[in-house]
Chains A and B, each alone.
Chain A
Amino acid sequence: MSVEHPDQRTVEQLLGREPESSQPAPHDPGDGSLIDDPALEAPLVLGGRSLHEVTEIVCGYAERPAPKWWLPALLVSASVAGLGTMMILYLIITGVGVWGLNNQVNWAWDITNFVFWIGIGHAGTLISAILCLFKQKWRTAVNRSAEAMTIFAVTCAGIYPAIHVGRIWFIWMVFPIPNANAIWPNFRSPLLWDVFAVSTYATVSTLFWYMGMLPDFATLRDRADRRLRRAMASGGARSLPDTLRAYIYGVFALGWRFSNRHWHRYEVAYLILAGISTPLVLSVHSIVSFDFATSVVPGWHTTIFPPYFVAGAIFGGFAMVLLLLIPARELLPNFKDLLTLRHIENMAKILLVTGMMVGFAYAMEFFVAWYGANEFEFYVFMFNRAVPDWLHESGAPYWWAYWTMIFCNVVSPQVFWFRRCRQDVRIVWGVALLVTIGMWFERFVIIVTSLHRGWLPAQWHMFYPTIVDILTFVGTFGIFMTLFLLFLKFLPIFPMAEIKAVMPQADPHPDPEEAPAMAGARGDDPEAAGGAAPAPAPAHPEEGR
């Protein structure tokens, strides 16, 4: 036979007649995680880290002194958060008149910010729930911080609907509480569905986040406890931080002892919560979109809103994940070993996909407005949004907001068609920033440009934000960043057990040639046996990729 059968070589290899993988590894420009060969699994943890080293890295963020930039950053964020809180107090004391709302534009930055923040949370739920069910192993590096971000974003989002009612002391009326007035919320109103959607979302996300942290809290507790014991054994004093750690993490660990029974129930509970959260990824923002879609305001009354909002939420959420994690990756030691370029690239791809989804939705809105032959709807899309006022006498003064949105959300992610752009963290960060800006403008465009022109020209009013509007919005960023910085310092920012389970050491039957990432592995972690099975001794410890 002159031509070798394609499988011949495999057969030879299996019979041991020919050495395996004589193919050289493909050229890889990045950190080693950007392998293009489908036959090779890209390492999810770099640097040939052992299980123990992963524990050291992750616990180190919570145990070692914070980096120099942390305290100043926290002070700045907390000051901004305090400023925002003062604005909120001012609003409550004085009334909603301190915002720039008017009779025509009765929803503006308040609801814009609400939808913006609630959308941001969606990436965390998607990563923790849907990617879990689809067994996407790369989620382990980002899920903890993305879930944290979800909760902090929902916290920020929840502020706005509460304060925009004006009489905040009546906010309990949004819940169906039996009362002597026999008043119930309107069960046919999407605003009430919103209350349920968002509160369910906040509850489930918090449970998911907290439950995932249990084993890691236990690890932190055990490490602090062991240090205390050592200090006592050598006759030294108990250090106060370690005592606090042991007890505080200990309380939050809820008595986790790494027993098999614990792990079994943990896995089951995790799957159940993933199952509950999965519909939430789709339902929450669908219901938020009903706030608009079920009204009869031209520009809001469209059936495309639910999927379009969900895609936009995931889009904006991943942008925020990248916006936060890329700097964290640079600033925190060894972060890059756990969050590789491949993770960034994957998220950039999601940005590209969801960015095109929202782009499609923007286009369909115009198509339906034209095809539906509703002149008012068409007018809103054409003249309230797209056509600049310097181009047409009916043109919109808000054209710049619309085109900012188009540029940021549709045009800018297109750079991710190019591998070089997906793999360059600076470009990814820049696009993520643009997308975050664009997604804020999307909500602003939907809300304000639809409202600002009523049916009669006498009802046409512009919206101008007041300083209170602006500082409240900036203030919620302060709240968000404060919470995130505290998270970076005090909580396990990676799910150690889950990361260990996707490391090569966790494979009970490793191919000795294919397990180079185990180089330097020194066996299992003594005080925190993660989810990983005991690893066999690496075949070639000195080999690394």
Chain B
Amino acid sequence: MLFPKWVNTVPTVLAMGGGGGALMTVAMVWYFFTPKFWVMGYMPEQPGAGFNHQIHAGKLGMDCRYCHTHIEESPEANIPHVSVCYGCHAEGRLNPRSYNADRVEFVRTAYENDEPIQWRRVHKLPDYVRNFPHHVHLQAGVSCYSCHGQIVGMPVVYQAESLSMGWCLECHRAPEDHLVPPDKVTELTWVESELSERRSMNRRERRVHTSDLIAALREAPPENCGACHH
């Protein structure tokens, strides 16, 4: 006999191994080769003591636009100048109580030296979609919450969503899942409960629920390539 008897098992082993390997490859690519795996949860360390959104926007109830002043008319969501911080954190004003008074020292130092604080960017989009227009989305009624997550609950800001193209398209194809009245886009706790309530509806009910908001859109959320990739 040219081939020993065990060779008969080779096709079975190959088929099972090949099939299993293929399945494994698909599963691994499916799980690992996505922005969901790579960038979700990105939480860079910020300079100084950082900026605690939970305290400022949550406990103190500051509006997002107090610092991010231009989001309603600019594509860029601006990071505030250090003077905005200093407005509250100047020597002798609004010091964090007692135990760690020098936490905001870095703000004062930066202000005195007329230097910007080197905040680290958390949400990065690739160059070819760098023109992501914040103002257009806010005016349409997309809340900060839909893309940035529950910021008012974050002591340190992290990336809550994948920001992949498929993720963008999910909302562009079903705006009824995310649109809220434009004057409420920054009321993140309200938005969270509203959107979670909406998840209990079916798609048609959501459509009806948001029909006024969708009707008020200047155009349907675009799905063509040129809308984002100029």
* A225 touching B165, Cβ below 8 Å: no
- Please determine whether B166 and A247 come into contact, CB atoms closer than 8 angstroms: no
Q: Which residues of A contact B8 (CB under 8 A)?
A: 255
Stretch of B30-38, B87-95, B135-143, B145-153 that contacts chain A:
B30-38
B166 touches A250 (CB 8 A): no
Evaluate contact between B2 and A250: CB separation under 8 angstroms: yes
Flag if B3 contacts A250 (CB, 8 Å): yes
B217 within 8 A of A: no
Q: How far is the CA of A183 from the CA of B170 in the complex (A)?
A: 12
Interface centre among A181, A221, A247, A254 (most CB of B within 10 A): A181
Specify which of A180, A181, A183, A221 is in contact with B2 (CB 8 Å cutoff): A221
Tell me if B's interface is mostly helix, strand, loop or mixed: helix
**Measured CA separation A221–B2 after assembly (Å):** 9
Q: How large is the interface on B (under 10, 10 to 19, 20 to 34, 35 or more residues)?
A: 10 to 19
B164 part of interface (Cβ distance < 8 Å)? yes
List, in ascending order, chain A residues with CB within 8 A of B164's CB. Answer: 180-182
A225 touches B166 (CB 8 A): no
Tally of A interface residues using CB under 8 Å? 13
A255 contact set on B, CB distance < 8 A: 3, 7-8
Set of chain B residues within 8 Å of A221, measured between Cβ atoms = 2
Bound: A182/B34 CA distance, A: 11
CB of B215 to closest CB in A, whole Å: 26
Within 8 A of A (CB), among B133-185: 162, 164-167, 169-170
* Closest-CB distance, A152 to chain B (whole angstroms): 26
Nearest CB in chain A: distance from B26 CB, A: 9
B166 touches A180 (CB 8 A): yes
Q: State how many angstroms separate the Cβ of B214 from the closest Cβ of chain A.
A: 21
Chain A residues 170-216 with CB under 8 Å of chain B are 178-183
Whether A182 and B2, one on each chain, are in contact in the complex, defined by CB atoms closer than 8 angstroms, is no
CB closest residue in chain B, given A221:
B2
A246 is an interface residue with CB less than 8 A from chain B:
yes
A180 touches B35 (CB 8 A): yes
Chain B residues 1-51 with CB under 8 Å of chain A are 2-3, 7-8, 11, 30, 33-36
- Across-interface contacts of B166 in A (CB, < 8 A): 179-182
Given contacts A225-B2, A250-B3, A255-B8, contact A180 B162 (CB under 8 A): yes
A residues whose Cβ falls under 8 Å from a Cβ of B: 178-183, 221, 225, 246-247, 250, 254-255
| 15 new A-B contacts at CB < 8 Å, known A183-B165, A221-B2 | A179-B166, A180-B35, A180-B164, A180-B165, A180-B167, A181-B164, A181-B165, A182-B170, A225-B2, A246-B2, A247-B2, A250-B2, A255-B3, A255-B7, A255-B8
Interchain Cβ contacts under 8 Å between A and B, 27 examples: A178-B30, A180-B33, A180-B34, A180-B35, A180-B36, A180-B162, A180-B164, A180-B167, A181-B164, A181-B165, A181-B166, A182-B164, A182-B165, A182-B166, A182-B169, A182-B170, A183-B165, A221-B2, A225-B2, A246-B2, A247-B2, A250-B2, A250-B3, A254-B11, A255-B3, A255-B7, A255-B8
Query: Ordered nearest first, which 5 A-B pairs have the shortest CB separation?
Result: A182-B166, A181-B165, A180-B164, A180-B34, A182-B169
